[in-house]
């Protein structure tokens, strides 16, 4: 039963991802309404369409952009640390991280590359066609709104569906699985908070719809669980009960 748990977790998470996608597809007003909360209307310039002028004001505030930049690089720093933890012990077998086995770290790093790198940025964002909120006619942009999951939008590259930063933020949350249970309890809520804020800032700035952020964040966990199920995640290594690979 213990060996079946990762696959069960994957199918539950994947089904949840599909349910969320269907919800936003059937109720696109949820995306529009949430983005409206952070959109500030303003007077239109001569020749503009009245009622369609404004901005996502939080994205214009330097402090929030500074926070976003820090959060943007956190997953990158974590990925570099994982790579270093794999390379350094290979050069000197006396060195290794006691928190997790080599295979667990490879699974974690592969999940980031496969999800945020390949699935999100190279496939979905490149070909989904969904315009970002600020680029839609609802929020002063030139293109019509496209619901989540529709690949018929006017965007041609680096599109809104789904969020690359939210996917990386979800992966950062997955890294808790590399920690011993005792340490995990202490950092769970701070890491979860950072992960969620990273994803939501993209919505606050008008760069992604809520569905883009939620689906991207969850996609990281789905891919992580899939790789853990296929290659075999060893929780005992994280607890320090077995020797390092």
Residue 242's pLDDT band, with cuts at 50, 70 and 90, is: very low
Half-sphere exposure in the Cβ direction for 97 (13 Å, CA): 22
Q: What rounded mean pLDDT belongs to the chain?
A: 88
- Asked whether residue 244 is assigned to any structural domain, the reply reads no
Tell me, what's the pLDDT at 95? 52
Instruction: Please report whether residue 245 resides in a domain.
Output: no
CA distance 144 to 14: 29
pTM: 0.89
Residue 233 lies in a domain: yes
- Alpha-carbon span 120 to 126, nearest angstrom: 8
If we measure between CA atoms, which residue out of 99, 124, 103 comes closest to residue 114?
124
* Residue 47 included in any domain: no
Residue 193 lies in a domain: yes
In a domain, 128, yes or no: yes
Q: Which pair of structure tokens corresponds to residue 39?
A: 């959109």
Distance CA 31, CA 29 (A): 5
Dump pLDDT digits (tens) for 79-125. 999 999 888 766 555 555 544 588 999 999 999 999 999 999 999 99
Q: Residue 223: its pLDDT value, please?
A: 97
Residue 194 lies in a domain: yes
- Segments forming the whole domain that contains residue 142: 5-42+52-238
From the list 196, 189, 187, the residue with the least C-alpha distance to 220 is 196
User: How many domains, the chain?
Assistant: 1
> What share of the chain in percent tops pLDDT 70?
85
What is the pLDDT, as a whole number, of residue 1?
38
Question: 245 falls in which pLDDT band (50, 70, 90)?
Answer: very low
Whether 243 is covered by a domain: the verdict is: no
Question: Burial letters for 145-172: b for 16+ Cβ neighbours within 10 Å, e otherwise?
Answer: bbbbbeeebebeeebbbbbbbbbbbbbb
């Amino acid at each position: 039963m213990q060996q079946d748990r990762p696959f069960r977790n994957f199918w539950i998470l994947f089904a949840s991802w599909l349910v969320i996608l269907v919800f936003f597809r059937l109720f696109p007003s949820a995306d529009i309404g949430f983005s409206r909360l952070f959109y500030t209307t303003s007077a239109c310039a001569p020749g503009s369409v009245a009622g369609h002028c404004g901005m996502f004001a939080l994205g214009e505030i330097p402090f929030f952009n500074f926070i976003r930049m820090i959060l943007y690089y956190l997953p990158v720093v974590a990925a570099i640390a994982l790579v270093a933890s794999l390379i350094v012990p290979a050069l000197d077998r006396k060195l290794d991280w006691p928190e997790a086995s080599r295979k667990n770290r490879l699974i974690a790093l592969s999940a980031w590359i496969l999800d945020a790198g390949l699935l999100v940025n190279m496939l979905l964002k490149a070909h989904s066609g969904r315009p970002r909120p600020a680029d839609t006619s609802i929020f002063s942009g030139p293109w019509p709104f496209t619901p989540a999951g529709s690949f018929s939008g006017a965007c041609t590259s680096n599109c809104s569906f789904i969020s690359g930063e939210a996917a990386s933020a979800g992966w950062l949350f997955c890294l808790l699985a590399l920690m011993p249970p005792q340490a995990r309890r202490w950092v769970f809520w701070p890491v979860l908070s950072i992960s969620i804020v990273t994803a939501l800032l993209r919505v606050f700035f008008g760069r992604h719809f809520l569905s883009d952020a939620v689906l991207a964040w969850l996609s990281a966990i789905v891919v992580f669980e899939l790789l853990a199920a296929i290659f075999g995640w060893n929780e005992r290594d994280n607890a320090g009960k077995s020797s390092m690979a």
